[in-house]
Homo-oligomer: A and B are copies of this chain.
């Protein structure tokens, strides 16, 4: 398990979270540059094992809300996550003890590291999706729990702030937050989903920051030995490569605060066609018109040679890619969860067709062997690092 995130950890996390993000979560390369600049200033960020949280610890999640296509054109001011947490703390009259990860996908895997470092609190090695999703209510922290998306706070690159003190439902919180994000230029920093440590432990998809790091490390290692990187990715996620080919069409628009559209791929022989529809994230995949993968299972696009993530905002004609389908974490597959994150929640008149197996959020042992040296560093030493930045 990761106990801290240093400069050296950024590249593996960026690759792993870029893949887990299934197209969304914001550009991982830009997120990595941002995180690096903050670590250079403040030192490594401390990571806390979710099961080391006190039951009464106070946590929230942070992340960027908006369209990934905007995130590569409109850069952040840099302290959005901390400022959103501070607005929320002022509203509730308490300080947070740790920050959890809303979604492990893309740059949103790094925002809780950046915000935690700036606020002086550790980041929890748990997220609420094991991937990325476009909407706030699509969170295991909110499925069948007493936690709520609101109160939540949002800030933009300037001095605009907005708070949602209460919402009728998490879906209503999303509707309001999305329109506020549109006002803020389709990109804003958000802090919300206030939880106790006990709630994080009960409802989180655990060790996904470590998983992202592990996945990225395996990609880098496979790149170095010029192995079949997409196959390595599929293996690490207990999934399979479902298609190899070239992007032949991209229909992508920014609509109501999301990047929406579809992308079409053709196999090199020209015989087969893969189509994927997306709303920030890749949601449903068809090969020759037949459904082959459905949300919440992961549909990940990587470059064919390097296995690097291809996110929604960088899809373009001609890119040679491999497409991997991987099973979603168990937390997303309950009946309650599928009502919120299954295909019908996105308007598709099809049932979820679960892929078998899966490692995300399930078995930390699976990806810990090669990170033993991390665990040898004691938590105390790391807390010391945190209090006394390099």
Contact = CB atoms under 8 A, between A and B. Distances in A.
Interface in A128-165: 158-165
Contacts of A90: 165
Interface in A272-296: none
Interface in A162-181: 162-168, 172, 175-176, 178-180
A163 B166 contact: no
A3 B182 CA distance: 44
A176 B159 contact: no
A103 interface: no
A176 B153 CA distance: 13
Contact of A180 (B158, B162, B165, B168): B162
A127 interface: no
B166 A176 contact: no
Instruction: Give chain A's interface residue range (CB within 8 Å of chain B).
Output: 20 to 34
A162 B165 contact: yes
B172 A166 contact: no
Report copies per complex: 2
B176 A167 contact: no
A56 to B, nearest CB: 24
A328 interface: no
Given A176-B184, A184-B176, A158 B165 contact: no
A94 to B, nearest CB: 15
A161 B160 contact: no
A91 interface: yes
A183 interface: yes
Given A175-B183, A180-B180, A183-B176, A168 B164 contact: no
Contacts of A172: 158, 160, 183
Interface in A46-105: 87, 90-91
A184 B175 CA distance: 9
Contacts of A165: 87, 90, 161-163
Interface in A231-254: none
Nearest to A152: B162
Given A160-B176, A161-B164, 12 more contacts: A158-B168, A160-B164, A160-B168, A162-B162, A163-B163, A163-B164, A163-B165, A176-B183, A178-B183, A179-B179, A179-B182, A180-B180
10 contacts: A91-B163, A158-B168, A159-B166, A162-B164, A163-B163, A163-B164, A176-B180, A176-B183, A176-B184, A178-B183
